[in-house]
């Protein structure tokens, strides 16, 4: 019988898993390095944040980072946030570290919802990158230039990233479901030299052509000198109207010669990622090559327990940082599984079909996907054979406690369910999984090694077992090297450091538990405050998961009579209706299982709920609409038309 209590142990690793874990091997290695015997994760974590230079040097060594020059100094300006510099004397290349394997083992395994499949070995991947790298150099691409990809999640996107970064160019991407205005707002800011696009993508049983949008985007990018087009949905797509267009396969041919990997400083930019942009223009966040590499390898090898013989998958588009995280798995030599399509197409169990077929070991999806799979009655434990599956990662929003029960009841009993949390801003995680620790219902297992994560109360004091603002109090390598076109770093400082000087303010409302885990209660800027009592939005969503009638929900605080009242919006399953009985049941569950403060003053049924391209609901945008304020950037939304369902509602006038 699975528990219904938050914090109750729901899974424990067995002795064999603990003994074979990469983290156990690392602990033995670092014990020899330091002369200390680490007996548990808590001790290791404490050491990793107390002596960060020793810790990150040990990661460099353990992960066997490939570099042409190491750094005598590990951490410079260690007390400055921002301002600290990692490995200032090192020179390396990001792509070289991801292409360290050049054999016949599968590197990229691609599937789409239409049934198409492809596989590239590590040797073939290297040859494709070699050919494209040489072609890009011939086209004038140099270190620091930007290469923009408007691409679905296909092998050519990975090849483009590796070829660009092998030169020292900066790679940036957004998925082709972005509209023209949304893509232009991102790419125009960084002025790319090369624009790469496909002629379309697959989603939810349909083929979506995208070259018309690509033509408009390129027209708005005066900096682009060449447009590379991948013929994905057609053999001979129409290239007219694109600037200097050429088919991807004609621009470059596979080349077996060695790639002249450009050796660059540790903090040379490798990626530009974008904030969601739902509260204004998206920030162009620059990430350094060395910090991204070290952080990803630490998370993949130690926290996810990824090994060469494993297959790893994450359901993501190329516009979400989880794509960047996923492809770093190439540095481990694992099989990286790519998917183009909707998660429930061609059937509700499509992703578990993929997991079975490709013997996926590490299976990553959003929290929203797991909740939807349960409501769609997807029960892989009865319908699929998943002996290889070891870890399920979930992110994108707080994982509902009911979803923990779903995984262990209906997916697989012996699996490490790793709810992970971080973000685009750090291209990695603050809290995540751990093969040595139990999984507790409703909790993230641990704070990440080397990440000095604390929760601060309103007085700015670190607290355990209480809710507050998530901060990181010491430098870490994957901190952005800055924001694009942010002269003097003023916007960077304001965004992350002004709220708690000397600490990184992440914007999450969270809690560190007594046993070292974490609970994320939602975004700090979306916290509800009725009667002066702070309530994280996830505290309400967690309890609504038990209602099978509710497909999705969104909660905001509405300014009302010199206070704030809670308003709950629900999207119901087909055939369900928000009647008095359901409304009363919702209120009673929140009153009895949470508190009277959690009970909404209004419950309103809506046909759709707005979300970002990566599937996150946008509470702040809805709050602005309800209060008659303009939504700054609807181009960042996957379904901006849904905002109209919240405008001028008579139920909110009384």
Residue whose tokens read 């809710």: 467
Low-confidence ranges of the chain (pLDDT < 70): 1, 277-280
Sign of CA pseudo-dihedral 310, 316, 319, 325: negative
In three state form, how does the secondary structure of 315-355 look?
A: CCCCCCHHHHHHHHHHHHCCEEEEEECCCCCCCCCHHHHHH
Query: Considering only CA atoms, which of 349, 168, 190, 346 is closest in space to residue 259?
Result: 168
Q: Which two tokens stand for residue 468?
A: 């507050």
Provide CB contacts within 8 A for 56, sequence distance 6+: 74, 75, 86, 87, 294, 450, 477
Q: Which two tokens stand for residue 311?
A: 């297959």
**Interatomic CA distance for residues 651 and 285, integer angstroms:** 40
Query: Considering only CA atoms, which of 175, 177, 167 is closest in space to residue 147?
Result: 167
**Interatomic CA distance for residues 327 and 160, integer angstroms:** 12
The answer to whether 39 and 46 are in contact (CB under 8 A) is no
**Interatomic CA distance for residues 201 and 181, integer angstroms:** 19
The answer to whether 268 and 469 are in contact (CB under 8 A) is no
Residue 282's pLDDT is: 85
| Inter-CA distances, 513 with 15, 231, 507, Å | 25, 51, 18
**Interatomic CA distance for residues 471 and 452, integer angstroms:** 8
Question: CA geometry: angle at 186 spanning 185 and 191, to 5°?
Answer: 100
Asked if the bond preceding 201 is cis, omega within 30° of 0, the reply is no
The answer to whether 558 and 564 are in contact (CB under 8 A) is yes
The answer to whether 388 and 380 are in contact (CB under 8 A) is no
Helices (H), 254-308: 289-297
**Interatomic CA distance for residues 439 and 516, integer angstroms:** 12
The answer to whether 455 and 512 are in contact (CB under 8 A) is yes
Residue 531's pLDDT is: 82
**Interatomic CA distance for residues 648 and 582, integer angstroms:** 24
Task: Tell me the pTM.
Answer: 0.92
Residue 523's pLDDT is: 87
For residue 519, report the phi and psi dihedrals to the nearest 5 degrees. -125, 130
CA 294 distance to own-chain centroid: 17
Residue 353's pLDDT is: 98
**Interatomic CA distance for residues 169 and 177, integer angstroms:** 25
Residue 1's pLDDT is: 65
DSSP assignment of 543-581 equals HHTT-TTEEEEEEEEEEETTEEEEEEEEEEPTT----HH
């Amino acid at each position: 019988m699975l528990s219904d209590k938050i914090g109750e142990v729901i899974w424990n690793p067995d002795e064999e898993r603990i003994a074979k874990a990469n983290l156990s091997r690392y602990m033995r290695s670092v014990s020899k390095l330091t002369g200390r015997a680490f007996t548990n994760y808590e001790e290791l974590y404490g050491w990793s944040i107390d002596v960060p230079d020793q810790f990150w040097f040990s990661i460099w060594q353990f992960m066997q980072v490939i570099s042409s020059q190491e750094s005598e100094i590990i951490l410079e300006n260690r007390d400055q946030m921002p301002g600290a510099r990692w490995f200032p004397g090192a020179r390396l290349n990001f792509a070289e570290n991801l292409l360290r394997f050049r054999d016949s083992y599968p590197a990229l395994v691609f599937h789409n919802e239409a049934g198409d499949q492809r596989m590239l070995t590590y040797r073939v991947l290297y040859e494709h990158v070699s050919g494209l790298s040489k072609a890009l150099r011939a086209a004038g691409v140099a270190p620091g230039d930007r290469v923009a990809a408007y691409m679905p999640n296909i092998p050519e996107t990975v090849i483009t990233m590796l070829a660009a970064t092998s030169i020292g160019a900066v790679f940036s991407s957004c998925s082709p479901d972005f509209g023209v205005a949304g893509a232009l707002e991102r790419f125009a800011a960084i002025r790319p030299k090369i624009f790469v696009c496909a002629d379309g993508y697959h989603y939810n049983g349909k083929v979506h052509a995208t070259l018309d949008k690509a033509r408009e985007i390129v027209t708005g990018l005066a900096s682009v000198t060449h447009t590379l087009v991948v013929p994905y949905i057609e053999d001979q797509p129409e290239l007219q109207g694109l600037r200097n267009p050429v088919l991807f396969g004609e621009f470059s041919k596979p080349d077996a010669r060695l790639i002249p990997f450009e050796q660059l400083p540790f903090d040379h930019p490798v990626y530009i990622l974008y904030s969601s942009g739902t509260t204004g223009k998206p920030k162009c966040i620059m990430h350094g090559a060395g910090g991204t590499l070290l952080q990803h390898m630490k998370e993949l090898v130690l926290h996810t327990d990824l090994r060469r013989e494993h297959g790893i998958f994450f359901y993501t588009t190329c516009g979400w940082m989880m794509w960047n995280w996923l492809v770093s798995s190439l540095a481990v030599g694992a099989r990286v599984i790519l998917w183009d399509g909707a998660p429930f197409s061609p059937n509700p169990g499509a992703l578990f079909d993929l997991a079975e077929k490709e013997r996926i070991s590490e299976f990553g999806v959003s929290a929203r996907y797991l909740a939807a799979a349960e409501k769609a009655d997807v029960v892989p434990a009865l319908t699929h054979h998943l002996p290889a599956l070891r870890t399920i990662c979930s992110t994108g929003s707080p994982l509902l406690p009911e979803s923990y029960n779903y995984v262990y009841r209906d997916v697989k009993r012996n699996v490490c369910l790793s709810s992970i949390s971080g973000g685009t801003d750090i291209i990695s995680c603050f809290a995540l999984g751990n093969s040595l620790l139990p999984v507790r219902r409703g909790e993230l297992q641990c704070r990440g090694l080397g990440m000095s994560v604390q929760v601060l109360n309103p007085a700015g004091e670190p607290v355990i077992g209480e809710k507050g603002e998530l901060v990181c109090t010491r430098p870490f390598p994957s901190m952005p090297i800055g924001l694009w076109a942010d002269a003097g770093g003023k916007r960077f400082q304001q965004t992350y450091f002004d709220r708690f000087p000397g600490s990184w303010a992440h914007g999450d409302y969270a809690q560190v538990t007594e046993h070292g885990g974490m609970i994320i209660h939602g975004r700090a800027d979306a916290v509800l405050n009725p009667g002066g009592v702070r309530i994280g939005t996830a505290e309400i969503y967690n309890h609504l998961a038990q209602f099978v009638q509710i497909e999705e929900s969104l909660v905001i605080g509405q300014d009302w009579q010199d206070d704030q009242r809670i308003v709950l919006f629900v999207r119901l399953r087909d055939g369900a209706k928000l009647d008095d009985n359901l409304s009363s049941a919702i209120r009673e569950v929140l009153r009895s299982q949470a508190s009277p403060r959690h009970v909404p003053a209004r419950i309103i049924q809506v046909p759709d709920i707005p979300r970002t391209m990566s599937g996150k609901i946008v509470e702040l945008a809805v709050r602005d609409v309800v209060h008659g304020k303009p939504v700054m950037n609807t181009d960042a939304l996957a379904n901006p038309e849904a905002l109209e369902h919240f405008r001028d509602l008579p139920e909110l006038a009384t």
